[in-house]
């Protein structure tokens, strides 16, 4: 993913000794099985970004977990404040797509970081929260080549 440079306002808020600028993490859960994606903003107010409304939510994103045997993953926990969230998540028969990005509250149409494409897996829920893992697509399972390493295709190897 090619990252665009930060805007001037973003650089000023990062480099300044103090700032009034608010950085907002946004999450969009989508897939072919739902008509309207679920959109959340880590904020106390709803945020409109590029014409889409992101619902204010105090979701939590855990630290990156890495091991030698698994793909890197982060955990996410979203408060289960609306029955519609659960109804939409139950429609998914495969892992939904998640886009994670960060914007400035004063300019929500311009991502400062992202979007980062992820998959929402291992989802569990109760009346309090929805939890799951955000993982990248499994590139390790993709075939590296359409050719087998045989003398016909690669005579220099044999």
* pLDDT tens sequence across 23-33: 999 999 998 88
143: pLDDT strictly greater than 80? no
Kindly report the backbone phi and psi dihedral angles of residue 116, in degrees, each rounded to the nearest multiple of 5, phi listed first. -100, 115
Q: What's the pLDDT score for residue 67?
A: 73
Q: What's the pLDDT score for residue 78?
A: 92
Domain boundaries, the chain: 23-137
Tell me the pLDDT tens digit for each residue of 62-94.
877 677 777 777 889 999 888 888 888 888 888
Least confident range of 20-29, 36-45, 82-91, 100-109? 82-91
């Amino acid at each position: 993913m090619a990252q665009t440079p930060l805007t001037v306002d973003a650089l000023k808020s990062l480099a300044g000794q103090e700032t009034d600028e608010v950085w907002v993490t946004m999450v969009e859960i989508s897939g072919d099985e739902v008509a309207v994606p679920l959109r959340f903003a880590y904020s106390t107010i709803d945020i409109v970004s590029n014409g889409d409304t992101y619902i204010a939510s105090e979701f939590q994103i855990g630290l990156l977990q890495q091991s030698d045997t698994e793909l890197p993953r982060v955990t996410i926990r979203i408060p289960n404040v609306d029955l519609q969230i659960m109804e939409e998540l139950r429609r998914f028969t495969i892992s939904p797509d998640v886009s994670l990005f960060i914007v400035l509250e004063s300019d929500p149409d311009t991502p400062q970081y992202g979007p980062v494409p992820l998959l929402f897996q291992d989802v569990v829920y109760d009346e309090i929260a929805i939890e799951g893992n955000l993982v990248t697509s499994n590139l390790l399972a993709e075939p590296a080549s359409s050719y087998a390493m045989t003398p016909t295709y690669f005579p220099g190897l044999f």
